[in-house]
Amino acid sequence: MKVPKKKIFIIILSVLALLAILYEIVLHISFATPGTVYGVTFDSEYAGYLQLNPVEVLSTILNDWHFRYIRIGVHWNKVEPTNGNFNFSEFDTYMAMAASSSAHMMLAIGQKTPRWPECHLPDWARKLSPDQYRAALLAYITATVEHYKNNPALESWQVENEPFLAFGANCPGFTVADLQQEIALVKKLDPNHPIMVGDSGELATWLHTADAGDLFGTTMYHIVWNPLFGYFSYDWLPAAYYRFKLWLMHRSPESTYVIELQAEPWVTNTEISKMPLSQQYKSMNINLLKKNIAYADSIGLPRVYLWGAEWWYWVKVKKGVPDFYNFAAQLNR
């Protein structure tokens, strides 16, 4: 009986994980290199969900915490609320703020962009036929690239976020050919800025993502939660695991980022505002944050984007806990 290629690849990754663990035990290896650059992901929708002013949060990121590398999802539903009518005014504000601070922006585009519900689709797009939907998606990508390709704050594009991970609310089907088409479109429209493709560090094989763009980004989550197992830790995965996966995919560490480093709690099946801080601290507290950063550093990638800036601001302003806020302020000093 023929074994599916995906199953073979998963077996290979499992073997690599075991080898990486042995490698770490024997050599206690660290790939850390000096000069790691720290950035953050910023999402205005999440800031609004936390009842924060998005402009104030981004201003804090830029001016108080001195982050100069920011990733923002230009969500489809935000810029094209009605079919064919684009409004980039909100993101123009963020780009202007970044430019005035000499910050470098990575703009994530596609049907799947950072933050829940993962697929940020306009309601009208969900009613289209598959062919109409695909044409509308490409039109949104085209409009966004054309609008920002000459912006002085733009550093790079992210085309789709974890495109093949079956995670997210009502995400339409997506193929390797779809990803390749979108990358080719962005390259044609804007040959001057590199394209990053991101994937899950723990749940994906990277088979169709690691070599898809000019840059590759891996997520990195250490403590997660689901209804079946409760809290689950990936602490047992050594740094060598990620390096082995990159080697297997022929992707250079020098062109790989940690695109999402867990720096906020993994929320259970409740709203974070209703979740006691004691519960939130089970998956993120200041010591876990420092531990996660040290772990990411040990992998030896040139850039690390932290995931949780809105929460750091929220826990200080709404809960009176300044630990994360103060830590972020000295991270890039």
Judged against a pLDDT cut of 80, whether residue 184 lies above it is answered with yes
List beta partners, residue 307. Answer: 262
100: Cβ contacts below 8 Å, ≥ 6 apart: none
pLDDT for position 27: 46
Q: Look at the chain and report how many structural domains it folds into.
A: 1
Distance, CA of 253 to CA of 276 (rounded, Å): 39
* Single-letter code of the amino acid located at 80: E
Query: Mean per-residue pLDDT for 211-226?
Result: 94
Inside any domain, residue 145: yes
Phi, psi of 196 (to 5 degrees): -110, 140
Inside any domain, residue 252: yes
Instruction: Please list the alpha-helical segments (H only) found in 231-285.
Output: 239-248, 277-280
Inside any domain, residue 324: yes
Residues 102 and 332 sit within 8 Å (Cβ to Cβ): no
pLDDT for position 237: 86
pLDDT for position 199: 97
| pLDDT mean across residues, the chain | 91
**Residue 10 pLDDT class (50, 70, 90 cuts):** low
Phi, psi of 263 (to 5 degrees): -140, 20
Query: What confidence tens digit (pLDDT) does each residue in 256-298 have?
Result: 999 999 999 998 778 898 899 999 999 999 999 999 999 999 9
CATH number for the domain that contains residue 237 = 3.20.20.80
Inside any domain, residue 31: no
pLDDT for position 234: 85
b/e for 267-286, b at 16 or more Cβ within 10 A?
bbeeebeeeeeeebeebbbe
**Residue 7 pLDDT class (50, 70, 90 cuts):** low
Structural domain harbouring 233: 5-17+36-331
Judged against a pLDDT cut of 70, whether residue 14 lies above it is answered with no
- Closest Cα partner for 174 from 191, 199, 193, 211? 199
The helix/strand/coil state of 109 is: strand
Residues 94 and 104 sit within 8 Å (Cβ to Cβ): no
Query: What confidence tens digit (pLDDT) does each residue in 109-167 have?
Result: 999 999 999 999 999 999 999 999 999 999 999 999 999 999 999 999 999 999 999 88
pLDDT for position 13: 61
Query: What confidence tens digit (pLDDT) does each residue in 232-257 have?
Result: 888 888 888 899 899 999 999 999 99
Pairing of strands 154-161, 104-109: parallel
Tell me what percent of the chain is helix, strand and coil, each rounded to the nearest 5: 45, 20, 40
**Tokens matching residue 8:** 């073979």
Inside any domain, residue 28: no
Inside any domain, residue 23: no
Beta carbons within 10 angstroms of residue 227's beta carbon: 7
Burial class (CB in 10 A: 0-12, 13-18, 19+), 144: buried
Judged against a pLDDT cut of 90, whether residue 12 lies above it is answered with no
Question: Cα separations (Å) of 19 from 15, 203, 240, 257?
Answer: 6, 18, 9, 23
pLDDT for position 212: 98
From the DSSP assignment, how many helices (H) and strands (E) are in the chain?
12, 10
The lowest-confidence range among 182-196, 259-273, 293-307 is 259-273
- Higher per-residue confidence, 213 vs 18: 213
- Closest Cα partner for 219 from 157, 155, 305? 305
Query: What confidence tens digit (pLDDT) does each residue in 70-98 have?
Result: 999 999 999 999 999 999 999 999 999 99
**Residue 39 pLDDT class (50, 70, 90 cuts):** very high
Q: What pTM did the predictor assign?
A: 0.91
Query: Mean per-residue pLDDT for 44-72?
Result: 97
pLDDT for position 183: 98
Judged against a pLDDT cut of 60, whether residue 26 lies above it is answered with no
HEC string for 115-176? CCCCECCCHHHHHCCHHHHHHHHHHHHHHHHHHHCCCCCEEEEEEEECCCCCCCCCCCCCCH
* Single-letter code of the amino acid located at 28: H
Phi, psi of 126 (to 5 degrees): -70, -15
Inside any domain, residue 25: no
Inside any domain, residue 107: yes
Residue 259 belongs to what H/E stretch? Answer: strand 256-262
Question: Cα separations (Å) of 14 from 8, 132, 235?
Answer: 10, 40, 15
